[in-house]
Structure formats: structure tokens, C-alpha cells
Amino acid sequence: MRYIVTGAGGFIGSSLCKQLRREGHEVVRIFRSLPEHAADAGTAYEDIAADVLSGGFPELRIGGDAVIHLAAANDIVSKNGREGIQLSLIGTKNVLDFAVNNEIRQMIFFSTIQVLGSELQGMVTEESAVLPENDYAANHAVAELYTEMYARKGLLRAVSIRPTNVYGHFASPTINRWSLVPACLCREAFYNKTITIRSSGRQRRNFVSVDSVANATSAVLANFPASYDTLNLGSPCHMTILEAAQCVKQVHDEMYPDPVQLLVQGEEPRQENQFEISLRKLEDRYGFKEHLGAEDFRKEIRLIFLSLERSAH
């Protein structure tokens, strides 16, 4: 199969492209501008420089079996409301039109679990109400609507995937997602020998590894729906921000002689938000069962520290 990946140089995109190549697929990687290391991949990929915000993007002529759209606004870009809206909405519409113009009948849009709320409660399923509470969540929610509309009109088949907190070491040194947990905690611990939490740390999160995201995406591609579907993508790994920080401290102190000081500087929230992510659709409809848990979280923390070591030298 031949897959076209926008946002191919990002955290999820770079891992997904490698996974698809391992499975023997042709992969067309689309970057806003080609990174310096792109040529090092040799003939493993077809690389194209194209901006999804460009008016000419829908007119590109590239054949393929599916488009995997990862070039929406991340949490950092979305802090600039206008920029986030443009990238997630106009960019997604351009990618949808590109797929239609090239008669590519399948598209995966990567959304976020935050479209269901910032502090999740109870059992979270694909039928849970869409309740965005920030620009990042809102622009992804509207991009989902665009994607669903194209599928409903019969222009293509589509899936919106909503991952929880994606974690893991970075596949390339050019990836800059140090705002993510636990990477941000690891970097502070490595360089400052502190981990600072500016809240109570009681916010409970679900963590899914970037490798699991890639494997689950492959399962969706192999079992594509007849029209449109949404898919919450998580794991059995739930922990609070404080528990994640304690895990980072423990791994750090096992690896290095100088222990880290954990600083908790807030009192809010005073209670944990209790929730579970239903993985039933992921298992029953797409045949993917997630087994990774807390011990795998620790393994990735160790790999993040090792990457920090390499960059420091």
C-alpha cells in the first residue's frame, strides 16, 4: 500500500512513517520544508515539501491509498488562537480537498482526546459528549466535523483518531516536543536536578506510547470503516501528574548519582479526576489490544534520559 503522511517530521508522524516502512508499505512524507536529515533516508521514503496552508496544496498530484493527516495545530501552536485555527481548519480542509482531487478514498485525521474535555471524568467512550475547553481542543473538534462531513457526503472514507497523552522518546533529534509529559520532567531533572510541578499534581491522565499509536494506526488502515468513525486511542496506563513526576525521579535517581528534588508548588486541584478510557472499539472493531502499562512508561523515561545524554555530549 502507498500512504501519504502530512506532519511526517513530528513526534507521532516520524514514528508512524518508520512503522509503515517496517511493514513494507510505500510512504510519502510531506513536510512544510524538507529537514536536513531527509536525504539520509535514501530511497526508503518519497519526501515532498508542501505547506498544507498553501492555496495550491489541494492541487498537488500525488497518488496513494490513504492520507494520514498529522499536520494540525499542536498545543504550542494553538496558544496563538488565529494560527491554531488556520492550521487545524484551513489546513485540514486543504488536505481533504487534496485527497478528493487525487481520488484517495481513505483518510485518517489525528485529533485529540481533549475534544471531550480537559479534566475527564467517568467512563470515556467514543459516544462521550464533545466538550472542548480550550483553543487546541476546539479547533480539532471543528476539524473532526469537516472530516465527518466529507465522509457523510461520500467523498471519501475517514477516521478521526483521538489519542490521549502520547509519550515516548523522540525518533529524531530535530523533534522539539519537550512540552509533553514526561519529556518536560525528564529534561528539567537532567539539567537542573529538580522537577517542578506548579499545581498539586493531582490531575489524572491516560498515557499511550508513540509506538502504540503507530501500531494502532496500522490496525485502522487494515480494517478501514465503510464511511466514518471516531476512535479514542489510549492505554491501561493511568497516573496523576505527580505520580508521573515521581516515576521520572525514581528512574533518574537509579541512573545518576545526584538525586533530583521534587518540588510541588500548588494546591489545586484538591481532588483527582477519576476516569477510564474504553478501549473496546479499538479491540473489537480494529483488532488492536494495548498491553503497555506503567513499566513501559518507565522504559521510555530511561530512553529519554539516554537521548538527553547524547545531546549533552
Residue extents of the structural domains in the chain: 2-166+208-233
Per residue in 153-192, pLDDT tens?
A: 999 999 999 999 999 998 887 888 899 999 999 999 999 9
The residue assigned the cell 496552508 is 53
Q: Helix 135-152 crosses helix 91-101 at what angle (to 10 degrees)?
A: 20
Average pLDDT, the chain: 94
> Above pLDDT 90, what percent of the chain?
87
Give 176's contacts (C-beta < 8 A, 6+ positions apart): none
**Amino acid symbol at 60:** L
Residue 2, helix vs strand vs coil: strand
pLDDT winner (highest mean) among 33-42, 245-254, 291-300 = 245-254
The owner of cell 476546539 is: 138
| Residue 54 binned pLDDT confidence (cut-offs 50, 70, 90) | very high
With cut-offs at 50, 70 and 90, classify the pLDDT of residue 41. low
| pLDDT tier for residue 312 given thresholds of 50, 70 and 90 | confident
pLDDT at 97: 98
Question: Strand order in 165-167's β-sheet?
Answer: 165-167, 204-209, 237-240
Query: CA triplet 165, 37, 30: central angle to 5 degrees?
Result: 60
187 near 178, Cβ under 8 Å? yes
pLDDT of 81 > 90? The answer is no
**156: Cα separation from own chain's centroid:** 23
Could you write out the DSSP letters of every residue in 72-117?
A: S--TTGGGSHHHHHIIIIIHHHHHHHHHHHTT--EEEEE--GGGG-
pLDDT digits 0-9 by tens, 252-289 = 999 999 999 999 999 999 999 999 999 999 999 999 99
Arithmetic mean of pLDDT, 142-148 = 97
Query: Using one digit for the tens of pLDDT, what is the confidence trace for 117-139?
Result: 999 999 999 999 999 999 999 99
At 247, is the secondary structure helix, strand, or coil? helix
**pLDDT at residue 210, as a whole number:** 96
- Which three three-digit cell numbers place residue 86? 488556520
User: Residues 183-231: pLDDT tens digits?
Assistant: 999 999 999 999 999 999 999 999 999 999 999 999 999 999 999 999 9
Q: Which of 100, 96, 138, 97 is nearest to 116 (CA)?
A: 138
DSSP 8-state class, residue 55: T
Burial of 22 (0-12, 13-18, 19+ CB in 10 A): exposed
> What kind of fold does domain 2-166+208-233 have according to CATH?
Rossmann fold (3.40.50)
> What confidence score (pLDDT) does residue 39 get?
53
Residues contacting 312, CB < 8 A, separation 6+? 190
What pLDDT is stored for residue 152 in this prediction?
A: 98
Calculate the alpha carbon distances from 64 to 25, 49, 106 in Å: 11, 17, 9
Mind giving me the DSSP string for 149-202?
HHHHTTS-EEEEEEE-EEE---SSTT---TTSTTHHHHHHHHHHSEEEESS-S-
